Chains A and B, each alone.
Chain A
Amino acid sequence: MIEVRNVTKRFGSVVAVDDLSFDARPGRVTGFLGPNGSGKSTTMRCMLGLDRANAGSASFAGRSYTSIVNPLFEVGSLLDAGFVHPGRSGRNHLRWMAMSNGIAASRVDETLELVGLTDAADRRVKAYSLGMRQRLGLAGVLLGDPGTVVLDEPANGLDPEGIRWIRDVLTHLARGGRTVLVSSHLLAEIALMADDLVVIGRGRLIEQCSVDEFVDRHSTKWVRVGSPQLDAIAVAATAVGARVERVDGQVADIHGITAAAVGEIAARDAIVLHELTTRSESLEDAFLRATAGAQEFASEAPSPVASSAPLPPPIVDRPGGGGR
């Protein structure tokens, strides 16, 4: 269990983290989400005692990180895969970590095998790809088989296969009862691996909830209907307060009504349907909507949400289809 309470961190006049509180529970992957510059990494550094928080505290199973002797047995952390001396081999990087906490040398080889780096273990880290460095970083996290795992943007720069690998590892760790906190600035990425979300913007908590709740709360949904009798269904839907936007002669998007209600109307009025699907904005749109105004740096390019142009192809919610 991770408990963060009222953490505040200032850099001069800039408040990077502002009275932030949240929890991460055992057995679940908690996604720590926020735009670039929102204070995720600073929060994690404060949690681990690497940055000195101006106020507040963080505890891991009831204890502050700096009070833990040999913390690799309790908390595994990876803040940046690049925090490795480039001239040292991957094996030696893990060896010094293991040695510092009294972890058996045999565990180094075990974790190297776990992350698939055995063959490259004696190569210097500067010859590693980004994906290999992430794997090495994760091997360091796993060295002490800790009950809590804290990862800062572990999928950053990884290819789809690498992202899937990270996702599978984190899910596996959480299913084993561990507390997993993983940060990202991409909701689509985090939504694939997280059960819960902590969303921050400008160092402040925006929301803590499950991924499903977050998407439900922040993404707009509508019903796409395809029918040769589109006029009839449009009239019936409008009559119950829905708003109809025609896409073409036989397809329309209906807002303010559920797919079930449209289906019942169609059945009642004997209207033929070719398509009836619930659609929603993309996860990124939901994220941008939630963090609107909380972006540290924003370009002048028009936001996809604010744009009057058609939205990018929406994600379709199908039964069992994994809409997120």
Chain B
Amino acid sequence: MINLLRSEVLKFRTVRLHVWLTIGAVGLLLVVVGLVGMLSSEPRRTRPDDLMSLIGGFSVLIAMTVGVLAALGITSEFSHNTIRPTLAATPQRTTVFVAKAVLSTVYGLVVGAVAVVAAYLLGSLLLSARGASVGLSGDDGSLAAFLGVPILCALLALFGYGLGLLLRNSPAAVSLIILWPLLLESILNGVLSVAGVDEPTRLLPYTSAFALVIPNPSDAPGGRIYGGVYFGMFALLITVIGIAVNNRRDA
């Protein structure tokens, strides 16, 4: 399993698209935080948790990019037919697909951690220099949101990988990752509301997960932990179905 994981890491990092998209996603967050830190008109009136609110809100885009990359990591194996030499080198399919799931999740966790740490350091450096009050606290939820960014990235990476494995098609998987919260869950939310379901957003896995990165997740009725666990279970289910389907299908 260790050899397989090392091999999968090598495969992932030796495709330039993966590297550049990762750098781009983290870089974009740093640019936004940097601009806000430099151009904020009244830094002295900034609340300590404002920086984490900014990073948390923007990290949703990073998490989605990570999800897209995880999906592309597996769909490109099918589109380039490299899944065949992969499974010829390791014919135990479940082992291969689990290794890829672990890699995708760890990749999301690492990218999320690097992004949030770098963005927080940059933001606090710039804002503190201009006299703003910046800090992480358990009381205002900013620390929880800080920790939630890598977790959201990890879960979206697993979700993206699972979707990619299930669909085996890059455009379909990427579209679904982006449109799921914007379209599918919005429509579902409306339908559930009309049907009289109480607090329908708690039934929407993707939307629930956003509570992980918001300092004060007032819009998420289930709360931060509920949102993370619910979406995590959902992502895991998609992945398990993807593995089961691919164990039966021709490579």
Partner of A52, one of B80, B91, B248: B248
Partner of A49, one of B7, B14, B87: B87
Partner of B88, one of A79, A84, A88: A79
Residue of B nearest to A48 (CB): B88
Partner of A83, one of B4, B16, B81: B81
Contact A100 B90 (CB under 8 A): yes
**Given A50-B251, A96-B10, A102-B3, are A84 and B82 also a contact pair (CB < 8 Å)?**
yes
- B residues in contact with A68, CB < 8 Å: 91
B92 contacts partner chain A, Cβ-Cβ < 8 Å:
yes
Complex: A97 Cα to B6 Cα, angstroms: 11
Complex: A2 Cα to B91 Cα, angstroms: 17
What does the 1/0 interface line of A227-262 toward B look like (CB < 8 Å)? 000000000000000000000000000000000000
A51 contacts partner chain B, Cβ-Cβ < 8 Å:
yes
Contact A140 B16 (CB under 8 A): no
Q: How far is the CB of A60 from chain B (nearest CB, A)?
A: 11
A-B contact count (CB 8 A): 82
Kindly state the interface size class of chain A when it binds its partner.
20 to 34
Contact B80 A66 (CB under 8 A): no
Complex: A82 Cα to B80 Cα, angstroms: 8
B89 contacts partner chain A, Cβ-Cβ < 8 Å:
yes
What does the 1/0 interface line of B1-17 toward A look like (CB < 8 Å)? 00110111011001111
B169 contacts partner chain A, Cβ-Cβ < 8 Å:
no
Contact B85 A97 (CB under 8 A): yes
Complex: A49 Cα to B96 Cα, angstroms: 14
Contact B82 A83 (CB under 8 A): yes
A289 contacts partner chain B, Cβ-Cβ < 8 Å:
no
Residue of B nearest to A124 (CB): B16
A270 contacts partner chain B, Cβ-Cβ < 8 Å:
no
Ranked 3 nearest A-B pairs via Cβ: A100-B7, A99-B7, A92-B14
26 contacts between A and B (CB under 8 A): A48-B87, A48-B88, A48-B91, A49-B87, A50-B87, A51-B250, A51-B251, A52-B249, A65-B91, A66-B92, A69-B92, A71-B91, A80-B81, A83-B80, A83-B81, A85-B15, A96-B8, A97-B7, A99-B3, A99-B6, A100-B3, A100-B86, A100-B89, A101-B3, A101-B89, A102-B3
Q: Give the A-binding residues of B (Cβ under 8 A).
A: 3-4, 6-8, 10-11, 14-17, 76, 80-82, 84-92, 248-251
